[in-house]
Amino acid sequence: MSIEPKRSLGRGLSALLGEGAARPTAPAVPTRAQRHLPIGQLEPSPLQPRRHFDAAELESLAESIRSNGILQPILVRPHPARPGVFEIVAGERRWRAAQLAKLHEVPVLERDLADREVLELAIVENVQRDDLSALEEAEGYSRLIEEFGRSQDDLARQLGRSRAHIANTLRLLKLPAGVKELLQAGRISAGHARALLGAAEPEALAQRVVALDLSVRQTEALAQRAPLRPRPRAAAKDADTRALEGELARVLGLRIDIDHGRAGGRLTIRYRTLEQLDDVVRRLKQEA
């Protein structure tokens, strides 16, 4: 029985687009030749991990396209539910810039790809170009794990990343919403965000990091100094409870705390020396 070798996407889009191949090999997926399609027949893929596109960068790319055209085709696949429509696998930024440049057609390279391959290729393209934010990268990894059953080791091999990088990036998804917003806006880095993960009040600390323009190392030190969790405020005690605490304190000569609860309560006798403890034990034995 022959076993088909597992394709590696870590090589990047150049391998898929046929650039720089040392020798001809049989295509791993059905291919079609490069052609031009009306720009309106293309639409973004819901599997694309990138959600934010910088307007200034798009305008700069559009200016380049006006002068030089689109030098690399947009990778697409037939839309799984809409005949005649094509889903963008890689090159959404070029497609958006082409619209700004008022192009009517764009060069495309069509491939028949499964959902998992679309998501992997989109992550590869963006990671290689540093186009994904840390959060978008984390969300892409999370989808590959949860929706397609990939392990962190699989992703590290396929995407050319270390397993530690995959794990540390995924941890960013545990951040509260306020910290995620600062990270997505570029006001703090992924290093700052990871330093805040174990803090009791990460959103308040993140605002302080921004206000003071702290480095990652300074943020780590700040998070370590912060309490692990805020202290609960003690409930106010009624007059009878305070009176009983005072009476017991006078008898024993020690500080007494009485805390009531729905399922009972707790009596705490505080001592400073072993002699005081011995005196309490002796008194209790006498009463018994």
CA angle 139, 175, 221 (to 5 degrees): 130
3-state secondary structure of 155: helix
Find, among 264, 243, 241, 267, the residue nearest to 256 by Cα.
267
φ/ψ bin of 180: left (φ > 0), alpha (ψ from -120 to 50), beta (otherwise): alpha
Task: Tell how strand 105-110 and strand 255-261 pair up.
Answer: unpaired
Q: Which amino acid is at 111?
A: R
**In degrees rounded to 5, what are phi and psi of residue 24?**
-70, 140
What is the side-by-side strand order in the sheet with 42-44?
35-38, 105-110, 74-78, 86-90, 42-44
Contacts of 33 (CB under 8 A, 6+ apart): none
**Cβ atoms 203, 175 nearer than 8 A:** no
Contact 76, 42 (CB under 8 A): yes
92 annotated active-site = yes
Under 8 Å between Cβ of 173 and 139: yes
Among 57, 87, 92, 247, the active-site one is 92
Residue 52 and residue 42: Cα distance in Å, rounded? 18
Residues involved in catalysis: 92
